[in-house]
A and B are shown apart, each in its own frame.
Chain A
Amino acid sequence: MKSAVITFPGSNREGDVIRALRQSTGHEPSSIWHQDTELPKGTDLVVLPGGFSYGDYLRCGAIASRAPVMDAVRAHAAKGGLVLGICNGFQILVESGLLPGVLMRNAGLKFICKMQHLKVGRADTAFTSAYNEGQIIKVAIAHGEGNYVADADTIARLEGENRVAFRYCTAEGDTKAGNPNGSLNDIAGIYSEHLNVLGMMPHPENLIETLVGGTDGRGLFESLSTLRGAA
């Protein structure tokens, strides 16, 4: 599995996701600069990491969505290539039109960093095959603008097409009570129409080791590592 991680000025979790990919796939991902105009040949997965691209000035992800490299990412997605956007990466994906909806300020108007439980949606995608449907996992969240909002038709479509990848929940699985930021339908992550693009606010890349919080995030990277020419 060949992966590429894009660094925008202001990205700051690129190292975290590179480490997660390295540990679970055994391969070093390539690092792509925001001004590059193409992806390395044979790239299976493109990752847009967390951070504050371009300072998140204007709107989170808005400037990054217009970066030169994003045309290559859009082309990659159009061909069915895998794209994973985490946190700021998710914000960039919605600003790029690769995923529907927007991410508003958290309902409590404060940045929140804590361990957070999620309920896994379907387990038959490239990103979640190592999990079970409905499994409750513990990962980290760290965001100020993760409150997912879309119009009623979009939400109905996401739900109808089973495209909600993860929902916030409590340790016991109560989604409503576990929602930290006011997201509609407790949405923490969504897929594109063809399930090849995943955007999510939480950080699975920070939960890959027992020593540092736990390993519930590994499943996502292990799912990806079993794909195609996987090691």
Chain B
Amino acid sequence: MKNTIAMTPELVAQHGLKPDEYQRILKLIGREPTLTELGIFSAMWNEHCSYKSSRLHLRGLPTKAPWVIQGPGENAGVIDIGDGLACVFKMESHNHPSYIEPYQGATTGVGGILRDVFTMGARPIATLNALRFGSPDHPKTRHLVSGVVAGIGGYGNSFGVPTVGGQMGFHTRYDGNILVNAMAVGIAKSDEIFYAKATGVGNPIVYLGSKTGRDGIHGATMASAAFDDAADEKRPTVQVGDPFAEKLLLEACLELMQTGSVIAIQDMGAAGLTSSAVEMGAKGDLGIELDLDKIPCREEGMTAYEMMLSESQERMLMVLDPTKEKQAEAIFVKWGLDFAIVGKTTDTLRFVVKHKGEVMADLPIKELGDEAPLYDRPYVETPKRPVLDAKKIPSPVSNREALLKLIGSPDLASKRWVWEQYDHLILGNTVQQPGGDSAVVRVGEGPRGLALTSDVTPRYCEADPFEGGKQAVAEAYRNIIAVGGTPKAITDNLNFGNPERPEYMGQLVYCIRGLGEACEELDFPVVSGNVSLYNETNGRGILPTPTVGGVGVIDDVSKSMTLAFKAEDEIIVLLGETTGWLGSSSWLAEIAGREDGAPPPVDLLMEKLIGELVLGLIKDGLVTAVHDLSDGGLAVGVAEMAMSGGIGATIAALPFGLPSHAELFGEDQARYVVTVKNKAALDELSRRVGAIVATGEALVLMTVIGKTGGDALTLPGEMPISLSELHNAHENWLPSYMAGEL
């Protein structure tokens, strides 16, 4: 293909650029672009890289706090966690590739997010993920689950980072468009963070890592379009992951950073060489000149166009201190990786690409990013749903039967089958493994550690994007508190449908507003994130899914709290207000077969009051077990505590004056279940709750609901459910489903 070919509307459309966007290019450069330039624009101006539909709304998110070192805009967010250490983290989606090719799509998702973290100088210490699949009945679901889980494990296990937590849900709205969101968390010294901003004119630009091949060309453009039935034909746009190469790249980069020779560094992720080079130059107010003859290529005869758009994995670009070139090269040779000087910084503010002595592209570098289209797309608010009256929704089954069905339902069943395929123990710092409210990971030799969680309830977001957005943040906040962590910051991964459709754009806008309000009120800022739009197939969007990855700090991990019942004869206490909220609940979907009604409202002040109360109880050793309540409400929460501790419980008749199924399965927010050892601890708990109530309305914030003990869970007025029956219901669904027995 020649570099200077006539631009046709078809060619422009194939590059995912709209006619008015093409006009914008003509105006910006004052001539027709070359083919390579058109490719560069398509890479920089697609939704994935430019955030053109979401940027306007993302500006409203709170991103600052005294402990935030770096907010959104870099490879990852950075927060100060004390002792001179920083936590570097981010979550990113790899939805489209994972649907087309689940194993490789998932591996490269994990690889990409790990690079984002170690590019900043941090050693990854944990990963998490959030997965959404189609209905279990859909013919592709099993294949996709199997491939994605194997892919996440295949990459993380080999790279050598524990996968410590995550979530996995099923819904028919993800049938043709699954979600694979991966989060990586790393630790660096707080004064040794590396950034993408280039400095100095004439400094060498160094290419590091694996060679460039023809894989993944136009990957980011593909990720910015909706799917149709021919999605399988896009397989060549999916990249192939090599965790071994990434492990070497990690060790080589961290070793290199120690030498003080790195001026700027940027990983080659979406849009590969183009995006990384432009970003380093634009951030540093410098031009960049690349000589493509120097690029290490995997195959012969690659064109400039292909090199600029390849998304081959495990590559980095770096601006190097020229006096330390030999030292840097020696490190890369030791690790057996490519090291090539492929260009230099200039003072021209131009992005110049040369190949075989010819200038293939010459574009204004700042404008490539700054002048990307920005859309204020029309949107409509999701109509409010009516609040359901629990009294008018009779239960078709006994509460005992409902509980057994719920804990064995696809969303709430144990995900052991998944996390046993992930090495969650490597590095020897996993204090709390998957299955709790948050994972707890020790930092170095301790005693400090991190509480890590990923959360969102898509059916709430569908019912009310604003409340759903709030709830995703509030649940992450609660999950961190439940293990004794102080919530510090979040990363958000916004997965939505086609933004050109006002109803889906409305979901995005209101979810972001909800997230923002909750982050503001809970002092829980957003420090990094990713937006994935056009998640729809044949015109039908996914459920709005703003995944929240939360990070909290625990001063002494040996005092972290777990949800397991610890001993017999302990007093079980419900904290928070119970109104029996069944709208958009798990019970409503699984037991009553309905997905309607307004979701539970999130009272952020109450979240904060109760959250701080619980954190104090944990710090002062007043409680022996803590669990936040979410999907499936009180009954599911207590069942999880019983199964985890291997100790039963008897729940007394509840005093809320509501239908019993609403009391047991309602999903009111800002609630926790705790256990206390004895009357003295209970009295102290009452005193502290009393202090809160005195400041507000006369709410019932504390209810003694029963006692631990025995080998069965007994709900009020029901026959006991033995722990083994609970356990079987909870553990069997996923393995049986994956074995094709269901």
> For the complex, what is the distance from the CA of A142 to the CA of B433, rounded to whole Å?
14
Chain A residue, CB-CB nearest to B422: A113
Chain A residue, CB-CB nearest to B433: A213
> For the complex, what is the distance from the CA of A140 to the CA of B247, rounded to whole Å?
22
Chain B residue, CB-CB nearest to A109: B150
The total of chain B residues at the interface (CB under 8 A) is: 32
> For the complex, what is the distance from the CA of A10 to the CA of B247, rounded to whole Å?
6
| Cross-chain contact B247 with A211 (CB below 8 angstroms) | no
| Cross-chain contact A112 with B158 (CB below 8 angstroms) | no
| Cross-chain contact A142 with B157 (CB below 8 angstroms) | yes
| Cross-chain contact B424 with A113 (CB below 8 angstroms) | yes
B157 proximity list for chain A (CB < 8 A): 52, 111, 113, 142, 144
Does residue A224 face the partner (Cβ distance < 8 Å to B)? no
Chain B residue, CB-CB nearest to A139: B425
- Residues of chain B from 375 to 401 with CB closer than 8 A to chain A in the complex: none
B429 proximity list for chain A (CB < 8 A): 212
B159 proximity list for chain A (CB < 8 A): 12
Residue of A10, A113, A140 touching B158 (CB-CB under 8 A): A10
Minimal beta-carbon separation of A25 from chain B (angstroms): 16
Does residue B470 face the partner (Cβ distance < 8 Å to A)? no
| Cross-chain contact B158 with A12 (CB below 8 angstroms) | yes
> For the complex, what is the distance from the CA of A140 to the CA of B429, rounded to whole Å?
13
- Residues of chain A from 49 to 63 with CB closer than 8 A to chain B in the complex: 50-52, 54-57
Residue of B335, B421, B430 touching A212 (CB-CB under 8 A): B430
Does residue A15 face the partner (Cβ distance < 8 Å to B)? yes
Q: Which of A10, A203, A208 has the largest count of B CB atoms less than 10 A from its CB?
A: A10
- Residues of chain A from 1 to 28 with CB closer than 8 A to chain B in the complex: 9-10, 12-13, 15-16, 19-20
Residue of A52, A55, A113, A208 touching B428 (CB-CB under 8 A): A208
Does residue A66 face the partner (Cβ distance < 8 Å to B)? no
| Cross-chain contact B158 with A212 (CB below 8 angstroms) | no
| Cross-chain contact A211 with B422 (CB below 8 angstroms) | no
A110 proximity list for chain B (CB < 8 A): 150, 421
Chain B residue, CB-CB nearest to A56: B158
| Cross-chain contact A142 with B428 (CB below 8 angstroms) | no
> For the complex, what is the distance from the CA of A20 to the CA of B428, rounded to whole Å?
10
Does residue A216 face the partner (Cβ distance < 8 Å to B)? no
- Residues of chain B from 12 to 57 with CB closer than 8 A to chain A in the complex: none
Does residue B431 face the partner (Cβ distance < 8 Å to A)? yes
| Cross-chain contact A212 with B442 (CB below 8 angstroms) | yes
Given A51-B160, A111-B153, residue A9 in contact with residue B426 (CB < 8 A): no
Minimal beta-carbon separation of B431 from chain A (angstroms): 6
Residue of A9, A203, A208, A211 touching B244 (CB-CB under 8 A): A9
Does residue B329 face the partner (Cβ distance < 8 Å to A)? no
> For the complex, what is the distance from the CA of A133 to the CA of B115, rounded to whole Å?
46
> For the complex, what is the distance from the CA of A20 to the CA of B160, rounded to whole Å?
17
Minimal beta-carbon separation of B433 from chain A (angstroms): 8
- Residues of chain A from 193 to 211 with CB closer than 8 A to chain B in the complex: 203, 205-206, 208-209, 211
> For the complex, what is the distance from the CA of A213 to the CA of B162, rounded to whole Å?
14
> For the complex, what is the distance from the CA of A54 to the CA of B243, rounded to whole Å?
10
A157 proximity list for chain B (CB < 8 A): none
Does residue B512 face the partner (Cβ distance < 8 Å to A)? no
Residue of A12, A56, A205, A211 touching B160 (CB-CB under 8 A): A12
Contact with A along B215-228 (1 / 0, CB 8 A): 00000000000000
Given A10-B158, A55-B158, A113-B421, residue A212 in contact with residue B244 (CB < 8 A): no
Does residue B725 face the partner (Cβ distance < 8 Å to A)? no
> For the complex, what is the distance from the CA of A142 to the CA of B154, rounded to whole Å?
12
| Cross-chain contact A9 with B242 (CB below 8 angstroms) | no
> For the complex, what is the distance from the CA of A54 to the CA of B153, rounded to whole Å?
17
| Cross-chain contact A15 with B427 (CB below 8 angstroms) | yes
Minimal beta-carbon separation of A160 from chain B (angstroms): 35
- Residues of chain B from 150 to 169 with CB closer than 8 A to chain A in the complex: 150, 153-154, 157-160
| Cross-chain contact B428 with A12 (CB below 8 angstroms) | no
Q: Which of A9, A15, A20, A213 has the largest count of B CB atoms less than 10 A from its CB?
A: A9
**15 A-B residue pairings within 8 Å (CB atoms):** A10-B244, A12-B160, A16-B427, A52-B244, A52-B247, A55-B158, A110-B150, A110-B421, A111-B153, A113-B419, A114-B420, A142-B425, A212-B430, A212-B431, A213-B430
A111-B422, A112-B421, A209-B428 are known; give 14 further A-B pairs, CB within 8 A.
Answer: A9-B336, A10-B247, A15-B427, A51-B158, A52-B160, A56-B244, A113-B419, A113-B421, A140-B425, A144-B157, A211-B431, A211-B446, A212-B430, A212-B442
Chain B residues with a Cβ under 8 A of chain A: 150, 153-154, 157-160, 242-245, 247-248, 335-336, 419-431, 442, 446, 557-558
Chain A residues with a Cβ under 8 A of chain B: 9-10, 12-13, 15-16, 19-20, 50-52, 54-57, 110-114, 140, 142, 144, 203, 205-206, 208-209, 211-213
Question: What are the 4 tightest A-B residue pairs by CB atom distance, in nearest-first order?
Answer: A12-B160, A55-B244, A52-B158, A142-B423
